[in-house]
Structure 1
Amino acid sequence: MSTVDNPWELTRAIAPRRYVNRMIAEADGVIRSNSYPSKYPVNGNPPTTPWAMDLTSLDGRFWFAAFDLDAKTPEAFEQASEDLGVLVRILRDTGLPHVVCRSSPTGGFHVWVPLAGIDKAVMVQLADAARAVLPTLDHGMLCNDRTGAVRPPGAPHARGGASTVMGGADDVDVLRTPTVTAGDLLRVTAAFRELRPTVDPADSSPTGPVDARHRAHRSLPAWGEAHMATVAGGRDPSRTGYLCLLAAAVSGWTLADVEHAAKTAPGMEHYRTRNRPTGGRERRTAAEAAARLERQWAKAQERAVLYRYAPEERAQRDLTELTGIVDVVDAMLLAFTASPGRWTRTEADLHDSTVLTYLAWLSLRTGSRDVAAALRSVAIATGIPSSTVDRSLRRLHEAGWISRRRQADGPNAAIWRLSGRFSTPGEHVGPLHDVTARPPAELFDVRAALLEVLEDRITAGRHDVFTRAGLGPTARRTYESLTTTENAVHTVAERAGLPRGRTRAALASLRRYALVVVSAAGWRRRRLDYRTQAAKKLGGKVHGALQRRELQYRDERDLWAWWQDHLIRKGGRRGRDRVPTTQAVLFRAEDERGGPEAYPLYPCSSDGRADHQAAMRFVRGGLLQDLRDLELAA
């Protein structure tokens, strides 16, 4: 790293406006507010407090693209370092001049790209595309043409230190002569879109060459095999490594299996080495590698549960419908914070918003306004009991937030649609053909970012510890609203849509069970996930509750399918076959009901009435195949 000889002289030379924004010290000389409220002319002496430089001129044209990779915690710094590696590779491949700075000794990174006066529309595309790929990016800074400002290279930090130029990047003098055009930025945007996460992991492609000789020690889906064999993790080792874990979770691997694969699999490079901010990669310590792999494995298992009950993405022929879905979901997330009285007043309100979040995720993932939502599937995905899901759907329907397109019928789930109440069309004057639609590529960028937000909410809150017998839905909503970056109580309360008093109480409860960390800067999730340990402390009624509930729902599904088969056969039609357990069959026996895969006779009393309790005992005992074998043997 190197310091800038005269940061104020550099600022005066490159500032797009005749002033900068500076911090203000309080009466005791200490700076406590992380804001820059005062304007300071650039033609004077250096300010005595830290300053930030606007990225645009007064006409709104951008003269700098500032990629702000936030890293206030060790976990966030690691991810920011990986994001920095992805970003720098893209800028180098596209031949764009750039300057990389460490924003402060304890902060993240600023990557500066000098622009030749770029319109906001181009910057919005860049911001959306980069947001979908770089988790730690403050994407709003890339397209804020009114108040977007960043501390320039060499500028001091309020908590000590300064923004220092890192090795391996261009000299700061490239900032004095901007040459990057809109066409150059569109090439960068296209490069980000090549790395954009797909809606369905099965549709993802490796981001680098694949080692055809590599073979996983256990079976994987084809897409998982490709990622596992991607040489050095490709252009985004962090994302590739995560996809390897996700494929392993879907295939039923154990932690021991992924630990074995992480030793040699090319695609799991991220779990052996880490990105060096100055360039290249360095070996992780054994303890660090094991801890990161275990954390990411837990996340992959949570996402695998979500994908297990997700329908396939629908082929998009007309993007008008997808545009409407994106607008509705975006407005829904805003409504959760703008109208907290509706969504967080009671326990029922919190459940309603969680169920609505899952329906929004289904709609956004499939690209269809109409989505099938079986009660037990929603319950397993959200961690809410199926009876509670049923009541939430009824309340949401009665209030007009969702509409039922089709009633549940036999084995077919009810079809639901999010209403347009969240998103009201803006007033438009003039002919409709003058309306500029969102470009398709930009639409998919926004969709990918929204999917990540929804998935994080759902998976963060779906845990034993947040069941009603545990810490409850208010603690769940608060935990969902936290990140790995410190935030003040009022910020967490705004995200959660909760009053500050309830937020403080929930944070105190979460802290009591070591689920959050508090510092002078604010509250954040723990680096390590202690939700399972907290559930164990809360007792056997809490720990394992979701697993027991899922087993119960599985048995109820089997019982329902058996009962439906019984009704179909009573109507004189051929029943449905089961999916029997794999077993060696020496010869195939059949009767009037079919072969070994047919359902056995449903238990009935002497007067012909169905005995559901006896049927459930057979289901729970896993005896359906035994019953069927006895029928065929007789």
Structure 2
Amino acid sequence: MDTSKADSAVVDVDAARIGALLASCGLRWVEDISPSGGRHMYVPLAARMPGPEAAELIDAIARTAPSLDASPHHNPTTGCIRPPGAVHKRGGHQELVTPLSAAYEILRHRNPAAAVDAMRRALAPELARNREEAARRAKLATAPPPALCHSARPDATAPPAPGWRSPLRAIAETGLYDTARYPTASEARMGVLTHLAACGWTLPQVQGELGGQFAGLASLYQSPAQLTRLLEREWDKAIEYTATSAGKRSTRKSDTSPTEPTGGAEKVSAASVHQLVNDLENILYSVLDARFQKLGREGVGLRFLARGVLAYMRTMETNVLDVGCRTFALALGQHHGTVARLLRRLAELSDGMVTKIADARHRNADVYLVELPEKHAQLARELTWRKGKIHAVRPVFRSLGPAAALAYEAVERSRLSPTTADVARAARISRTTAEKALAEMAAYRMIHRDDAGLWHITAATSLAQLARRLGADEDVAAQLTLHRSQRAKWHAWLDRHSPDEQIAENDLYDPEAAEHWLPPDDAAIPTALWHAAA
């Protein structure tokens, strides 16, 4: 762990986190510390490990620790580090933290291969993420360059590159910031807090991550006492600034917040909306899912779009939705053009459940009315409501895929713990696909199977944390940044072409106004000027 990659406080947090990981896998290590605050952790192995395998494990651990420097494991010739007792370039020596007798015993009785395998299982999300990104880079390296055509828009906004993350998010993780942009730590942490507030974080969520992924934000405070004293006050300022700046841009709280309905039906009560959503869920699971299943890939998109519509209904407590395509696209992890096409198809194939009642205009999106189809009303009321909440595509399933999302939903919302066959039947996917998805989720400890072969949700596993480990949160952030840029360009175009801002002909020339130029009196012109003119 190197202080050139993160603040020394982040190094300490990362060392504690990696130590907890190693201990949970039954591994023992020897640790030293440098005068600069960096740390080395040595994990001696009983069996020889090839260099590429060691580098793969270190890269996976680096996903959980921003300060970890993985470069020594990628350079077998010059990838050297200072052992305990070595002279440091800044003065002083590497100091052994582990007691000498304990270090000697650990180096003599090395860690078995079973403990290394346990660490591989614990790092399964990070290993999968690194392999996926390596395959993506290899594909991009071998792909031919895109051909230029006259129809290409040179001003089109390109999505951020894979693996992109917000610079402010990096400050929150590492504690390092650009002093040219943020002269002091106070300004840097206010930038981070404002960024988190704009992204929808709450104060308890931020406080819960100060010892985890936001250790860099905590290091921007001079002491724990200052952190306790100032965090809540600065968070209130960040919330106030975010609300004020968003109000100047539009009538919404932020670029991705749910919109208020613009009309089309009378306001209904929240209780009736929740009851309507429960009835519509029964129709979705019993009728529409079976219909959409026959449409292949398009049907999968329609199934999740219908879930997204019901989720927004429950959140906004209304059956009149004017949610934009980009907002749905962020909830589904798809392109907004695909969502626009799927919305039209959903209105066609939903038996009147989703009906378009108004076209998009200016900054307002298309308006849809969601109601219970008369032909399915009796069936909806005969079926029992399901437990839990309905979701579109949660971020973690951007990495795991739609089959895993459907299988997880089948386990999560089942009235009784299902078997693999029950999951395949409820999710309307093949048995082979269900087995593969369940095995992958079980490897990530999202679900577990008991001795009777029944599947259960593992409550201790946080889907949000798993999404961060798999890199899905970076995908969401990149899509959110792209949408904000596109919205800003569209709003700027609307402002330029707004009728209120257009200059009419009478603004330039009024025929009733006397705008002709009157010459001055001859007496007012000096005599010298007449002689000069002559």
TM-score if structure 2 supplies the norm length?
0.40
Higher strand share: 1
Higher helix share: 2
* Larger-gyration structure (1/2): 2
Q: Which has the higher contact order (CA 8 A, sep 6+)?
A: 2
TM-score if structure 1 supplies the norm length?
0.34
